[in-house]
Chain A
Amino acid sequence: EDQVTQSPEALRLQEGESSSLNCSYTVSGLRGLFWYRQDPGKGPEFLFTLYSAGEEKEKERLKATLTKKESFLHITAPKPEDSATYLCAVQSPNAGKSTFGDGTTLTVKP
């Protein structure tokens, strides 16, 4: 059974203070690892897909990386508008569905 564990559960940063969110996964063959951003009371918004170890994707202040056991979402010089819950999900070749982690709630103080 596919499993995803995200840490920390909550992260508070000062504006400009860079940090990383972790997504550890167990899957029988990784078909894809996905990162999403969710604002309170809204549906998640797709950010990145990573397919193989060593792959990196960037978007503005966010950079996602992937190893064989975990993925990191690096946030460089965050701004208050980056405050949200970040969700990680994995998909294995045999599953017609994604397995989601519980998310990391990021708060960036001005």
Chain B
Amino acid sequence: DGGITQSPKYLFRKEGQNVTLSCEQNLNHDAMYWYRQDPGQGLRLIYYSQIVNDFQKGDIAEGYSVSREKKESFPLTVTSAQKNPTAFYLCATSGQVFNEQYFGPGTRLTVT
């Protein structure tokens, strides 16, 4: 069953802690993306990767870090430097950079 897996669905952390969100895909897609979505707003790009071992900053990369060591995996770390980390985080993939994107189910992160 092909698809994109994000875990966990809900995540709670205390302020000052780093947290890593998982994104795994078995679609054999080259490109992967991380977005943040706040209530009533569209998607804002955090990081994206067009190929293994390479990634670029998106529009709101400050306070976040990523790695792309395997084609299937693109984990996102929300660091303590991110001032407002509470949000809905979405991972997406595309076969090529200019193709449509396919999204995972999302992880809702709450930091208190």
Whether A and B are associated in the same complex: the answer reads: yes
Listed by A's residue number, 12 A-B pairs whose Cβ atoms lie within 8 Å are A34-B101, A36-B103, A42-B106, A49-B99, A49-B100, A93-B98, A96-B97, A97-B45, A98-B45, A100-B44, A102-B40, A102-B41
Q: A41-B106, A87-B42 are in contact. Are A46 and B101 (CB under 8 A)?
A: yes
B111 adjacent to chain A (CB < 8 Å): no
4 smallest A-B Cβ distances: which pairs?
Answer: A43-B103, A102-B42, A100-B43, A100-B42
Please, which residue of chain B has its CB at the minimum distance from the CB of A45? B103
B63 adjacent to chain A (CB < 8 Å): no
Interface residues of B (CB under 8 A from A): 4, 31, 33, 35, 40-45, 48, 50, 56, 58, 88, 90, 92, 97-106, 108
Place the interface of chain A in its size category.
Answer: 20 to 34
Q: Please state if A97 and B106 are interface contacts (CB–CB under 8 Å).
A: no
A103 adjacent to chain B (CB < 8 Å): yes
A-chain residues with CB within 8 Å of residue B103 when the two chains form the complex = 36, 43-45
A31 adjacent to chain B (CB < 8 Å): yes
A91-110: CB near B (< 8 Å → 1, else 0) gives 10100111011110000000
Q: Which of A43, A46, A49, A96 contacts B90 (CB 8 A)?
A: A43
Q: Please state if A103 and B102 are interface contacts (CB–CB under 8 Å).
A: no
Q: Please state if A96 and B43 are interface contacts (CB–CB under 8 Å).
A: no
B-chain residues with CB within 8 Å of residue A101 when the two chains form the complex = 42
Q: Please state if B50 and A96 are interface contacts (CB–CB under 8 Å).
A: yes
Please, which residue of chain A has its CB at the minimum distance from the CB of B43? A100
Within 8 A of B (CB), among A2-54: 31-32, 34, 36, 41-46, 49
How far is the CB of B107 from the nearest CB of chain A, in Å?
A: 10
Most buried by A among B45, B56, B100, B102: B100
